[in-house]
Homo-oligomer: A and B are copies of this chain.
Amino acid sequence: MPDDPPFFISSPQNPRIKQLIKLRDRSEREESGLFLIEGYRELLRAADANHPLQTLFICPKLFLGENEQNLISRIKERGAQVWTCSETIFRKISYRDRPDGLLGIALQKHSNLLDLGKHLQNVPSPFLVVAEAIEKPGNLGTILRSSDAVGIDALIVCDRCTDIHNPNVVRASVGTLFTVPVIEADGEETLQWLKQHHIAVVAATPSASCEFTDVDLTGPVAIAVGTEQLGLSERWMKQADIQVRIPMRGVADSLNVAMATTLLLYETLRQRSTKRVS
């Protein structure tokens, strides 16, 4: 059982606690190939997606629901060690304001363009998103959440700025990091790959003549979005097959990148659903 005495932690000096806290740093995550998954919903989605966990830290006092034991058993059965922590320790290791008593260390998974090719083999009209050098983990996580919602085939993270295994990506994605196929690739290689596979690159720019609701997005498409500050790089803008404008009727000249992406994704979904029905 998880609360057997040898598996109880009450000292902040415990080496497992120290290792866990180090995983908040990107360098440590990259060196170890591990990352953190906090929260019931996030861990449930990881378990449902068969994402391998190495260790699970729990604090039953902080549980918010009734299904935690079931999830813990599932994770334990797949070979993860389960450690029970005192409330003080758990609040120390949590990166949330309101921890719910579950925090895991998981193994990173990485996929590349070769994997994407296999994954899309039987997909007649791929629906992809390319995120170029997104800086804020919260934005990347939110893009994942919207990507899951419209059912894209994959998210390609190019020239990554934010580490996809950043705890705030996991959090903002509410665990959809484990359900949306994520590909990591070099920007130039991705562009070539998309051209080879006849997938149209769609880029949003204020200078485009067509609004995003007036172009045909029902074919194979890759919605490309860029950094918060500067948008897509010249390379992507120049090679985009379809340029679209999101109307801006106020004083501000742009939307938050996750908002813009969500609009493009849902417009694509709307057009594809309409096409399917008619």
On A, residues with C-beta under 8 Å from B are 45, 48, 138, 142, 145-151, 172, 174-176, 179-180, 213, 246-252, 255-256, 258-259, 262-263, 266, 269-270, 273
Contacts and interface: CB of A to CB of B under 8 A. Distances in A.
Q: How many copies make up the complex? A: 2
Contact of A149 (B147, B150, B174, B250): B250
A48 B174 contact: no
Contact of A251 (B45, B251, B258, B262): B45
29 contacts: A45-B251, A138-B138, A142-B259, A145-B252, A145-B255, A145-B256, A147-B250, A148-B250, A149-B246, A149-B247, A149-B248, A149-B250, A149-B252, A150-B247, A151-B249, A151-B250, A172-B256, A174-B252, A176-B252, A179-B252, A180-B250, A247-B266, A247-B269, A247-B273, A255-B262, A256-B258, A259-B259, A259-B262, A263-B263
A249 B265 CA distance: 12
Given A213-B270, A270-B213, A146 B259 contact: yes
A138 B139 CA distance: 11
Contacts of A247: 149-150, 266, 269, 273
A155 to B, nearest CB: 12
A251 B145 contact: no
A28 B147 CA distance: 40
The list of the 5 closest CB pairs from A to B, nearest first, reads A148-B250, A151-B249, A259-B262, A179-B251, A213-B270
